[in-house]
């Protein structure tokens, strides 16, 4: 089991670090442009814009999204037949044969921070539109990650970059749902702690 985890971490870490410098540069450019435009348009100081607009979180989302697009589409080699393996391989791991499906696991891992950071960065807008309850958060995370994955897979099909696989759609959507659920649980825990703190503060004040 330990060997499986080591191999998986090495593979996923290597794939992510391969595009990290380029994705980070795009995130920095986004941060500078967003901060400048926001501070000018809303007549706020740079510090106010960064804090109130959650620009750091949104910039991290851009970094993660850029890394995903680079790995799944932009830097992929040319494939003559992108429909050569539509069904893909559904198994994640085989302990009996010592086999690990790193690509499918990577599909899950890559989409978790994308959905988490998008929900965290634009949570106020999402709460006004759909309300971030457990059911709505799960539904939004699933739809968001599925649509994003479908756009990537369709682009792979059109531009012959990689192969169109149903497993990618399923595992990307699964990763997105997990990311959304992690955000919802973290947000709920923070709200509960804040509520308990307010109650204890009022009782102490009395």
pLDDT at 177: 94
Residues 129, 110: Cα–Cα separation, whole Å = 26
Residues 6, 8: Cα–Cα separation, whole Å = 5
Q: CA 64, 5, 10, 77: dihedral to nearest 10 degrees?
A: -70
CB neighbours of 52 closer than 8 A, spacing ≥ 6? 44
* SS3 call for 3: helix
Provide the whole-model pTM.
Answer: 0.85
The model's pLDDT over 132-178, given as tens digits with 9 standing for 90+, comes to 677 888 889 999 999 999 999 999 999 998 889 999 999 999 999 99
Encode the chain (206 residues) as per-residue pLDDT tens digits.
566 677 778 888 888 888 999 999 999 999 999 988 888 877 777 777 777 778 899 999 999 999 999 999 999 888 889 888 898 888 877 655 556 778 888 899 999 999 999 999 988 888 877 776 778 888 899 999 999 999 999 999 999 988 899 999 999 999 999 998 998 888 888 877 765 655 665 555 55
* SS3 call for 33: helix
pLDDT at 158: 93
């Amino acid at each position: 089991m330990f060997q499986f985890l080591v191999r998986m971490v090495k593979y996923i870490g290597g794939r992510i670090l391969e595009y990290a410098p380029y994705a980070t540069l795009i995130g920095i450019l986004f941060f500078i442009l967003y901060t400048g435009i926001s501070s000018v348009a809303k007549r706020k100081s740079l510090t106010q814009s960064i804090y109130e607009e959650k620009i750091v979180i949104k910039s991290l989302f851009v970094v993660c999204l850029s890394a995903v697009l680079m790995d799944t589409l932009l830097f992929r080699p040319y494939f003559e037949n992108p429909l050569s393996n539509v069904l893909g391989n559904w198994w994640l791991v085989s302990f009996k044969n010592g086999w690990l499906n790193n690509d499918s696991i990577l599909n899950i891992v890559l989409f978790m921070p994308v959905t988490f950071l998008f929900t965290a960065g634009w949570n106020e807008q999402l709460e006004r539109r759909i309300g971030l309850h457990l059911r709505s958060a799960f539904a939004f995370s699933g739809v968001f990650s599925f649509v994003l994955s479908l756009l990537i897979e369709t682009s792979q099909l059109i531009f012959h970059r990689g192969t169109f696989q149903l497993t990618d759609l399923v595992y990307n959507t699964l990763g997105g749902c997990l990311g959304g659920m992690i955000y919802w649980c973290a947000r709920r825990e923070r709200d509960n702690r804040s509520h308990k703190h307010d109650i204890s503060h009022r009782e102490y004040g009395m």
